[in-house]
Structure 1
Amino acid sequence: MTANILSSTRLGFRGPQSVSAIGLGAMGMSGMYGAHDEAQGIATIHAALDAGVNLVDTGDFYGMGHNEMLIGRALKGRRDEALISVKFGALRDPSAGWIGMDGRPAAVKNFLAYTLQRLGTDHIDIYRIARLDPNVPIEDTIGAMADMVKAGYVRHIGLSEVGAQTIRKAHAVHPISDLQIEYSLVSRGPEAEIFPVLKQLGIGVTPYGVLSRGLLSGSKPTGPGDFRAHLPRFTGDNALKNQQLVDVLHQLAAGMGATASQVAIAWVIARGKALGVDMVALVGSRKPAQLDEALGALKLELSAEDLQRIEAALPADAVAGTRYDAYQMGHLDSEKQAKIQVK
Structure 2
Amino acid sequence: MNISFFWGALLLVDGVFGVDVNVSLSVMEGDSVTLKHHTVIPEDASAEWWFGDKPIAIKQAAGLFSTSKGDDVGFKDRLNLDTQTGSLTITNIRTEDTGDYKLQILGKKKTEPEIFRVIVRDVVKSLSVMVGDTVTLHTGVTDIQRDELIQWKSGVNGLNGDLTIRNIRRDQSGDYELEINTSSMILHRKLHIISGGMKNVSVKEGEYITLDTGLYKTQGFDQIIFKFKDYLIAEINKGNFGFVAHDTSAGGRFKDRLSMPPRHTASLSIHDSRITDSGDYLLNMISSTHTVQRTISVTVSDSGLSPGAIAGIVVAVLLVVLAVAGVIYHRWKRSLN
Query: Shared fold by TM > 0.5?
Result: no
| Structure 2 length-normalised TM | 0.22
**Which has more helix, going by share of residues?**
1
Q: Which structure has the higher relative contact order (CA within 8 Å, separation 6+)?
A: 1
TM-score (ref. length: structure 1): 0.22
